[in-house]
Structure 1
Amino acid sequence: MKIRNTLPLALFGLSMFSQASFAEVSANIGVTSNYLWRGVTQSADGASVSGGIDYSHESGFYAGTWLGSIDWGNGNGVETDWYAGYSGEAGDFGYDVGYIYYAYPEEEYDDSNFGEVYLNGSFGDLGFGVAYTLNSDADDDAPFGKGDLYYHVSYSFALPQDYALGLTYGYYSFDIDESVHGDKDYGHVQLDLSKGDFTFSISKADEESGDDDTKFVVSWGTSF
């Protein structure tokens, strides 16, 4: 899920618990100076607002939706994510497997919808995962078409005064016709310094991403 990192602030939050099911519904809102997704701006290097609602069950099943304001240079729009999955722990190992669908309803974003299956894991402060594009409105041999793979690994640790530092490296591998589209595969790295609901990020992607400027981003987000 994006912190996608991943929208209108007119959202409400609620929690409901049942002694039989121990289910919970929660909401989240956020704002960022630049909505980055896998190292690339989704908001034309401008500000973005977001919000979402999540359902989780003690069994490990969860589902939710998330909205974010975007601008790919062809007009303001909204990204709407729908997702469901299952997460849990086995000893010191944590796992999360699910499906997410990225929808872009505006006419200016036609043929941009796609869906991924993902598998994420964690062991202590180490995180890692892979996502595979299962279905897409784009052509299969074009970027963000069926068959793309995204890998990532991260490490985080606590600092004094309730600060936390995280480092993430991701790599996007596109299943495309390079004779037509060229080499689009790229890697990116991001450093996040956070305290409470605030995060300061520095991000840098390879030239092949088409967005290789170093990004400095300030974000705020909370859930309730």
Structure 2
Amino acid sequence: MKTQRFGIAAVSGAVLSGSLLMSAPALAQQPWSFSANIGAVSNYIWRGVTQTGDQAAIQGGIDVGHESGFYAGTWASNIDWDEGGSEDVVGIVPVDPNTGLPMTDADGNYIVEGVTSGSDPASPNYELDFYAGFSGAINDDVSYDIGAIYYAYPDGRESDFAEISLSGSFKWFTLGVAYTVYGENDDGLFDDGDLYYFGGADFALPYDFGLSLRAGYYQFENDDVVVGSVTDTSGNVIDLTESANYWHYGASITREAGDFGTFGLNWDQNNGDQEVGYDTDPKIWVSWSKEF
């Protein structure tokens, strides 16, 4: 399973990161348009979960769009899923009632009732996304977007995954779903079959301010995460599991500042199981982005 994405670890709404949706770049009068963006955030939040251990991130991307509605682009950010390369074991070693000795498995290793904590030395340092899709409008109030995105972590363990998504918007409101079609974390989180449901609303406020609301629900195909273990009277180790599925929600207030870009004040939170590794504390973070 991924780190936070848990303590486990694309682009619209108020800022370049931590958003619910990926949207096509604005089109100019020519058939093709090109743009670039750069941003800085005090915390990279993705679907309600920090990707930087509550630390800052520098982000940016390049987009191309066609008047037909086709768009494609790439986007990158630094990430930090952990803080080192060690692993500590927390728990107790049960005593065999027949021998009075600590219990071991078939290989002679102590059986530990508890959970492991620490960090993975193969944790990646940056995320690189590639996306493409098609967006269009049925009328002035109704629009849609069909997209695909590949999340890559080139310098870390096998964590890449890919999604396809479908969303529809009516005036200020958007609803959609993303489906994971490929994942390198076999039989774990962010593998084939995961579903992510999302919704949001964007409102223009006076004096170039904007208000964005967002919420989402992650339904993992392999949602059971081992959080500990117990030993029965026969000496068999039984894993204790909790569901990794979770809701998240948030809001942003942004201010357009002309050539100085867009500034944002943001709040995000999730209700995941803390035994799984979710940090459920509210996250308040600031952001800046600019498009060229």
Structure 1 residue 182: deviation in Å? 2.6
Deviation of 1:207 after TM superposition, in Å, equals 3.0
Q: Does 1:93 align with 2:142?
A: yes
Residue 188 (1) aligns with residue 248 (2)? yes
Q: Does 1:119 align with 2:182?
A: no
Identity %: 45
1:33 aligns with 2:42: yes
**1:115 and 1:76 mapped to 2: Cα distance?**
17
Q: Distance in 2 between matches of 1:77 and 1:179?
A: 24
Question: What amino acid is the match of 1:175?
Answer: E
Matched residues in 2 for 1:18 and 1:39: separation? 37
User: Aligned residues, how many?
Assistant: 211
The CA distance in 1 between the partners of 2:280 and 2:18, in whole Å, is: 19
**What SS is found at the alignment partner of 1:112?**
coil
Distance in structure 2 (CA, Å) of the matches to 1:123 and 1:165:
16
1:51 maps to which of 23, 44, 60: 60
Q: Under a length normalisation based on structure 2, what TM-score does the superposition of the two structures give?
A: 0.68
RMSD, aligned α-carbons? 2.1
Q: Is the 8 A contact 2:223 2:244 kept in 1?
A: no
Of 167, 175, 183, the residue aligned with 2:221 is: 175
Where does residue 145 of structure 1 map in the other structure?
Answer: 191
Between 75-84 and 196-205, the greater mean CA deviation after superposition: 75-84
Superposed CA offset, 1:105-158 (max 9, x none): 11xx3111000001121110001111000001011x311111001111112222
Partner of 1:10: none
Cα-to-partner distance string for 1:9-54 (whole Å, 9 max, x where unaligned): xxxxxxx9895xx101110000000000000000110000001000
Pairwise CA distance, 1:4: 2.9
Consecutive unaligned residues in structure 2, runs of 5 or more: 1-9, 20-26, 84-122, 227-240, 257-261
Correspondences of 1:71-90 after superposition (within 5 Å) = 71-73=80-82, 77-90=125-138
Divergent runs of 4+, >3 A? 16-19
1:164 Cα deviation after fit = 1.3
Change (3 A) 1:25 1:5: farther
Q: Please state if 1:201 is matched with 2:201.
A: no
> Per the alignment, in what secondary structure is the counterpart of residue 289 of structure 2?
strand
Name the amino acid aligned to 1:53: I
> Using a 3 Å threshold, how does the CA distance of structure 1 residues 202 and 172 change in structure 2: closer, same or farther?
same
Q: Does residue 218 of the first structure (1) align with residue 283 of the second (2)?
A: no
* 2:205 pairs with 1:159: yes
Question: More deviation in 64-73 or 174-183?
Answer: 174-183
Structure 1 distance, partners of 2:290, 2:223, is 41
AA aligned opposite 2:267: I
Structure 1 residue runs of 5 or longer lacking an equivalent are 7-15
Residue 12 of structure 1 is matched in structure 2 by none
Q: Which is greater in Rg? A: 2
Distance 1:171 1:17, change over 3 A: closer
Q: Distance in 1 between matches of 2:17 and 2:282?
A: 18
1:65 paired with 2:74, answer yes
